[in-house]
Amino acid sequence: MENMTPKIKDIYKQVISRNPGEVEFHQAVAEVLESLGQVIEKYPEYADHKIIERICEPERQIIFRVPWADDKGNIHINRGFRVEFNSALGPYKGGLRFHESVYLGIIKFLGFEQIFKNALTGLPIGGGKGGSDFNPKGRSDDEIMRFCQSFMTELYRHIGEYTDVPAGDIGVGGREVGYMFGQYKRITNRYEAGVLTGKGLSWGGSLVRTEATGYGAVYFVNEMLKTRNDSLAGKTCSVSGSGNVAIYTTEKINQLGGKVVTLSDSNGYIYDEDGIDLELVKNLKEIERRRIKDYCQYRKNAVYKQGGNIWEIPCEVAMPSATQNELNLADAEILVKNGLIAVGEGANMPTTPDGARFFLNNNVLFGPGKAANAGGVATSALEMQQNASRDSWTFEYTEERLQDIMKNIHNSCYEQAEEFGCPGNYITGANIAGFRKVADAMISLGLI
């Protein structure tokens, strides 16, 4: 809060009192508001139109019951969420998270970040997010299907290709999107491909969507390194997580000549000094759905550390790609001491605010999630474009589009940071660039 102007501090206090207990949401709002003092001074119309107050209040929040039966016939009740945060730039767009930690505060933090991220892509998409406190770990395919069908049986009435277009996030990948799309189609009697993204390739999905978040984050880091006449080639990199984002971050780093030496899950991390064998990881995680520790059964030089701190492994580039607040100030200090030069956030808000400040103060290039991981949603928007024109693009063409988008996002963050007197601060740059696009649209659309 110390970096907020008095006027913005008042708005932030209101946000806290109107949304009690939602600490992740407060954190996400604080990070954006800290960047906006100078913007409000330079463009007073944003204050006149109460844009910040309006942007912090979701347009609509939906909470619903999700009943389902497990394989033994036991009945379970979960809670479903969809927060439709802002549709000034296009239909609400953002993923669904299935994880036991999900509650309204998590969905609102993710939805809030999504507004600015989606604006940064330059594509016509608003911001939203959803999910459930359902824990998919250890559940059979049939149980996952029944849960997804029950979830969609309520969600279907709130979404649509021109209204709200969900996708995946933690715990939601191609399998889950398939079951949800099937149920949507069945209930509505419409083959409305553009209602969900992250679909399978034979039924409306886009090439590169699976790879997009990880690939995009690596492109973003490479663009940051270019500003210092450097690149990923030859760099030792640490990636956390072992899901969709972590896997394709690793793949692109390898392609650009870097070496990834770690991956993790919520139980521990693996360290392979020879470089991660990605085909092995894909087989374990994507096909067999096993835990990351099993990697060490096949790679004798690799070690697994149960409950260990992944950030103790020395690296030049760190790409936190698991979950929020997984990298704190103490971790940042260790990383910098060990020679870190760049961070690219594959996950949403993985670095705590004091950790991020420490990186900036120590001249580390820092790519915040809302810019660095925007490649996923950008490619989802490309999937929507292909669905709308009933077309499908080649891998090469789609990846080229993704690369261009990431370059543009990098450049607009870089330029806004310069314009507002904090060169090289991509956090401020991303917040201002995203905010201004949404704010200008909101003013044009009148008081709605």
Which residues here bind ligand NDP, judged by CB under 6 A?
Answer: 168-171, 213, 241-246, 265-267, 321-323, 326, 346-348, 373, 376
Q: Which residue is nearest to ligand NDP (CB)?
A: 243
Smallest gap, in angstroms, from Cβ of residue 177 to ligand NDP?
Answer: 11
Tokens 């008081």 locate to: 447
Task: Report CA 334 to chain centroid distance, whole Å.
Answer: 25
Secondary element (H or E) of residue 35: none
Query: What does the block give as tokens for 393?
Result: 């693009």
**Identity of residue 243:** G
341: left (phi over 0), alpha (psi -120 to 50) or beta: alpha
Q: How far is the CB of 43 from ligand NDP (least distance, A)?
A: 29
Q: In the complex, what is the shortest distance from the CB of residue 176 to ligand NDP, in angstroms, rounded to a whole number?
A: 10
Give whichever of 321 and 352 is closer to ligand NDP, judged by the CB atom. Answer: 321
Residue 363 CB neighbour total at 10 angstroms: 11
Order of all β-strands in the sheet with 342-344: 303-306, 268-271, 259-264, 236-239, 317-319, 342-344, 365-367
Radius of gyration (C-alpha) of the chain in whole angstroms: 21
Which residues lie below 8 Å from residue 158, measured CB to CB, with a gap of 6+?
62, 82, 84, 164
Min CB(373)–ligand NDP separation in Å: 4
- Give least dist CB 386 to ligand NDP, A: 17
Nearest to ligand NDP of 52, 381 (CB atom): 381
**Which one of 129, 199, 235, 437 is the catalytic residue?**
129
Taking the complex as a whole, the smallest distance from the CB of residue 169 to ligand NDP amounts, in Å, to 5
Q: Which is nearer to ligand NDP, 266 or 392 (CB)?
A: 266
For ligand NDP, which is the closer residue by CB, 46 or 105? 105
Q: Toward ligand NDP, which CB reaches closer, 178 or 420?
A: 178
- Contact by Cβ (8 Å): 249, 217: yes
| Pairwise CA distance, residues 231 & 228, whole Å | 9
Q: Left if phi > 0, otherwise alpha if psi is -120 to 50, otherwise beta: which for 407?
A: alpha
For ligand NDP, give the closer residue by CB, 32 or 40: 32
Q: Is 300 a catalytic residue?
A: no
Please state, in angstroms and rounded to a whole number, the distance separating the CA atoms of residues 351 and 28.
11
Catalytic annotation, residues: 129
